[in-house]
Amino acid sequence: MIEILESGLFNTVQDLGRPGYRDIGVSASGAMDPLAVRIGNSLVGNDENAAVIEVQTFPFSLRFERRTVFAVTGTDGHPHLDGSELIPWCAYMAELGQVLELKQPPRLARAYISVGGGLDIPVVMGSRSTSLRGGFGGNAGRPLAKGDRIAVGEDLEIAMLPATGLAVIEPAVALREVFPAPVDGVLPIRALPAGEHGLFAGDGEAFWSQIWRISSRSDRTGYRLSGEPITPTATIEMRSHGVVPGVIQVPPGGEPIVQMSDANTAGGYPKIAGVIECDLWRLGQARIGARLKFVRSTHAEARAVEQAVARYVEDVRLTSGMVKRALKAMA
Amino acid sequence: MIATTNRHASPREIIPATQSRARVSSIGARSFLLEAPGDFDLIAQRRIWALSQTVRRWADLAENIPGMTNLLVIFKETPEDPDAVVVRLLEAWEHAQSIDLNGKTIEIPVRYGGEHATDLPALCDLSGLSDREVVRIHHEATYRVFALGSAPGFGYLHGLDPRIYMPRKTVPSLKMPKGCVTIGGMQTGVAMLTGPNGWNSIGFATLEMFDPTAQNPAVMAPGDTVRFLPARIEL
């Protein structure tokens, strides 16, 4: 078990999501930074889809009620275990009673806590993710709160962790060739033109050329962007159609909305573009107030990025497994 | 990428995606939306249901989501040749024979008017009809569930009388209660969650239509028939 000692309002249990039910109106949910979840789970020896805690309102702290392997990923901040500073992207062992504390990270938006054995939470419709809109899944369909106790699955590899921890080079560094760094603080996000791009005529170019800011009315469902409004040449209502995270819709006010993990499953607003899936984690780590720019991409580029990410994740999984097996053999 | 564009729209007109040919566009890298041409009717929707059954058998497909005379298909990975995907989808559409789904009939008791009918006066203004006429026209029709989406278990219903079409609001209601019976454009439905909603409320229903723990979580399925029964009319 782990016990939540302190939590902000919007911290939830997530895994890689609940796809497959959009046709009955159920959002996929899942972590806003799925890459951090896959890496965190690999480091602690879990299946990459094991349930983790997504922390997006800080400070957050929990107590381990038994010896547990854990890793904090996604964040650029330093977690503390009983007051000692740790590094992110590294698996450690916590002893019974030890307290893990996460403070507001300096730059990024979200941190993920994975534990060896995964959070032992009932699977609802194929996933342990919290559906906040639907009020089911995760921690009884609601965010974590002080006093919540969550069961942890059995950890078969607990004895195999190196005493000093097991770290990985974080994605932003390991994959810097495929994920260009922000320029003057402006995050580049790759997208493809979507169905109604042509309807925006000259404003289509304004969409790509201007710098957008993530407004305070943003959450796991969607990011509202502020900037110079863009308007279509005609006011239309689309027939309702399926949408996915990453879709950039333009409501009548002219300020785009990017649908995120808790994305609606259907939409009717004109779609100007769609963020490529492998760039979504970078948006998931962008905070309110952050500036971004959309960069026109291609299917070929999206494939190349997906393949580079897959190689990195596979490398982490194989290497961490090898290290642990070698240590066990030496023990 | 857009296979065919064929769009003429005048302000506030509720238009079909295309006038003559089906259109395929993409959302991000691995999702493609096929929009049927022509009218918003059962004939087009039956072909969408058929197309959905065809693409479900494709080995590289992850999910497909029927919408209102359209279908979103999500592939397992970004296709190497997106143009070939467009061609494949358009061919499948050309071959899609109209099918009907054997649906069940769902009766939904509705309290028309009253505190939840926040948009009934505006609908009367727009349509030039009295509130009684609007309510009668709404509950006398028989609706088909074309598709589900937007919220868990929410069914998009077809069959609304054109006299009571009403565009979505430009400023959505911030906290419309679950159960509101609503009209959005040429569509009607029952709100499944309390929250922001751009549709227009004319009544209220208490029937539970989604249970995440059930074998089939959603009560409605595409092809079902829905009747609204006026349990009470408060005007």
CATH of the domain at B125: 2.40.100.10
- Residue ranges of alpha helices (H) inside chain B are 42-55, 82-95, 120-127, 131-140
Instruction: State pTM to two decimals.
Output: 0.92
**Last residue within a domain, chosen from B42, B74, B95:** B95
**Is residue B194 pLDDT above 60, yes or no?**
yes
Phi first, then psi: what are they for A119, rounded to 5°?
-75, 130
Q: What is the pLDDT of residue A234?
A: 87
Per DSSP, A103 falls in state P
**Is residue A44 pLDDT above 80, yes or no?**
yes
Contact B203, B114 (CB under 8 A): yes
Closest residue by Cα to residue B108 from B69, B155, B147: B155
Buried b (16+ CB within 10 A) or exposed e, A136-150: bbbbebebbeeebeb
B11 within some domain? no
Rounded CA gap, B187 and B26, in Å?
Answer: 24
**Last residue within a domain, chosen from B76, B95, B114:** B95
Chain-centre distance for alpha carbon A315: 20
Residue of A239, A249, A271 for testing the chain B interface, max B β-carbons within 10 Å: A239
Rounded CA gap, B23 and B37, in Å?
Answer: 7
How do residues A79-123 score in pLDDT, each as one tens digit? 999 999 999 999 999 999 999 999 999 999 999 999 999 999 999
Based on the fold, state whether residues B90 and B110 are members of the same structural domain.
no
Average per-residue pLDDT for chain A: 95
A247: closest chain B residue by CA = B27
Question: How many domains is chain B built from?
Answer: 2
Share of chain B above pLDDT 90, in %: 80
Q: What is the pLDDT of residue A87?
A: 96
Q: Are the Cβ atoms of B77 and A20 closer than 8 angstroms? A: no
Q: Are the Cβ atoms of B152 and A131 closer than 8 angstroms? A: yes
Chain B hits for A242, Cβ within 8 Å: 31, 33, 65-67, 70-72, 149
Q: What is the pLDDT of residue B196?
A: 87
Average per-residue pLDDT for chain B: 90
Q: Are the Cβ atoms of B11 and A238 closer than 8 angstroms? A: no
**Is residue A161 pLDDT above 90, yes or no?**
no
Rounded CA gap, A137 and A127, in Å?
Answer: 7
Based on the fold, state whether residues B155 and B68 are members of the same structural domain.
no
Confidence of residue B19 (pLDDT cuts 50, 70, 90): low
Q: Are strands A291-296 and A186-193 parallel, antiparallel or unpaired?
A: parallel
Based on the fold, state whether residues B189 and B110 are members of the same structural domain.
yes
- For residue A229, whether the previous peptide bond is cis, meaning omega lies within 30 degrees of 0, is no
Which residues span the domain enclosing B189? 105-234
Give the nearest partner residue to A246 out of B28, B154, B185, using CB atoms. Answer: B28
Based on the fold, state whether residues B145 and B206 are members of the same structural domain.
yes
Q: What is the pLDDT of residue A202?
A: 86
Based on the fold, state whether residues B117 and B211 are members of the same structural domain.
yes
How do residues B58-79 score in pLDDT, each as one tens digit? 999 999 999 999 999 999 999 9
